[in-house]
Structure 1
């Protein structure tokens, strides 16, 4: 008798567990969703996740709650999502630095393309090359001339070792034949403070630096996008400055564990596209230096693959970031 009761209880438990694990587009999301941002609060990725998360909550009827899991330049938060249940209840909001890690780090605790699948490229935007106002240069050409005349003298700051700003700076040095000293900081805010204090003389920064540029606290020499940024119309592109190979845009993307069902991924991707199409969210994304994308999962996969290949070409030059 006791065996039959135990067996029934076990069977019921398995049915309940299976029901909790089952996830399809019709039932998604079944409970609050965690949006993992692998960086500290306050950056553009965090801002994008919070903006989109609020809209997703309204569209899909469950809270989408941002959880910051910083560390190891984004690797800790990414690993957490890669090893989560494949039900889109845990979603990664990461930058295009995820492709940098795939190209440069052979010892990641996950395989970027085997363990994760892209849901959407949420938004994207350029970096801006900013220098301390005391540096006696007013253009990219003058910066290159100064750096060549003073090899190893200029300190180039970044928001972290192996991040997008760091690698864009390394690519710029390769393109210009210059030699600078890389100084990584623990985030974009600290790198801006270091630049204003002249601890470093230049940074490839996100457009969160726009207000500091307008206030004269930083001097902008170029943006890395193919076109000029509307909020900084007098700042030339890096291509206009003579270095088209340094043209690069960064993006924020959404990712889930690889085995997440296709229909769930499509539903989440569509909801993200609807979110970033909202004029209010578009305006707020622009304020942190991004324009909305809201791509399909297929297009997001293509973008990620192209980025990994692009950064792999730089890694193949022998550059080490660890």
Structure 2
């Protein structure tokens, strides 16, 4: 998992910046609509975000961008669909960070570092623990106490097995002695509805819950960030509550392996332009997200580093073998 400080550093520009073309120009133009496989459920933050970016990308590249939902396999199905795609830029996928974890604990027919072309970082999720406003717990300590008194009685929703939410809660349980039951969903739209309909007792995942906190339907018990979030300045972090756990989870655009450099560059520049649109950033702000500017070289460097660094955490969580 990534600290907010680490995430902020990753979001910055570096000397690895790709060559810059004039605004609105591209060296490569697709011959037909571009399909982007989305690993998360329709209507979720990531789905809406990609569709909004696609509006500008369509204008820059001159072809429609079609977002195709491929939820499943803990958010790794979408990039896995690229194995049979031509490396011509016509078929892409949104890759969540779980694609860099999954192969450590589940046999796959793809390798995250060998089978994909890394194109552009997009954004990342801000994590927290949230309950309905009618829940009996007013503070995180009360929820932890309930999980210790009646182990596994209370369940929580996340975006999938092995995702940041589950790993975050495994660390919370190890740190506190509480035990809860994990209920995985395909995406934020599903687990948000599950919480509102009392199918789960709380959420441990990204801030798709933020609008529901703002309208009074939900309450944050703790932020899984390194420092307090300005928008919710009265909400303590897990660290402040003595639980040294921080969770963030970036995602980006990848393509099949072997894509020509000029195609990669054109797609990257189109997404970079789209990420600068005010309406896109205004949407992300609703869910406490920031743009994650990563060019192809930077994105690959991040993936290679994280793939190695995350394995000890997965072993600690009991998901991977040493």
Give the shorter-chain TM-score range. Answer: 0.7 to 0.9
Where does the alignment leave 5 or more consecutive residues of structure 2 unmatched?
A: 1-25
| Counterpart contact for 2:211–2:286, Cα < 8 Å | no
Q: Distance in 2 between matches of 1:263 and 1:175?
A: 48
- Larger displacement relative to structure 2 (140-149 or 39-48): 140-149
In the alignment of these two chains, the number of paired residues is: 295
Where does the alignment leave 5 or more consecutive residues of structure 1 unmatched?
A: 1-24
Instruction: Quote the residue 1:265 is aligned against.
Output: 264
Q: Distance in 1 between matches of 2:113 and 2:54?
A: 24
Is residue 95 of structure 2 the alignment partner of residue 94 of structure 1?
Answer: yes
Instruction: Quote the residue 2:156 is aligned against.
Output: 156
For residue 205 of structure 2, give the secondary structure of its aligned residue in structure 1: strand
Q: What TM-score does the superposition give when structure 2 sets the normalisation length?
A: 0.83
| Counterpart contact for 2:250–2:292, Cα < 8 Å | no
Q: Deviations over 1:32-65 (max 9, x none)?
A: 2111112221112211211111111112222222
| Counterpart contact for 1:156–1:182, Cα < 8 Å | yes
Instruction: Quote the residue 1:215 is aligned against.
Output: 215
How big is the alpha-carbon RMSD for the aligned residues of Structure 1 and Structure 2? 2.3
In 2 relative to 1, CA 122–86 (structure 1 residues): closer, same or farther, beyond 3 Å? same
Instruction: Quote the residue 2:310 is aligned against.
Output: 311
C-alpha deviation, 1:135, in angstroms: 4.2
In 2 relative to 1, CA 313–208 (structure 1 residues): closer, same or farther, beyond 3 Å? same
Q: What TM-score does the superposition give when structure 1 sets the normalisation length?
A: 0.83
Instruction: Quote the residue 2:299 is aligned against.
Output: 300
For residue 232 of structure 2, give the secondary structure of its aligned residue in structure 1: coil
Q: Distance in 2 between matches of 1:168 and 1:44?
A: 20
C-alpha deviation, 1:241, in angstroms: 2.8
Q: Distance in 1 between matches of 2:319 and 2:141?
A: 27
Instruction: Quote the residue 2:17 is aligned against.
Output: none
| Counterpart contact for 1:121–1:300, Cα < 8 Å | yes
Is residue 73 of structure 2 the alignment partner of residue 72 of structure 1?
Answer: yes
Q: Deviations over 1:144-201 (max 9, x none)?
A: 2332233222212223333332232223222333221112234323322332343322
For residue 182 of structure 1, give the secondary structure of its aligned residue in structure 2: strand
| Counterpart contact for 2:127–2:165, Cα < 8 Å | yes
Which is richer in helix? 1
Structure scoring higher RCO (CA < 8 A, sep ≥ 6) equals: 2
Instruction: Quote the residue 2:276 is aligned against.
Output: 277
C-alpha deviation, 1:209, in angstroms: 0.8
In 2 relative to 1, CA 60–186 (structure 1 residues): closer, same or farther, beyond 3 Å? closer
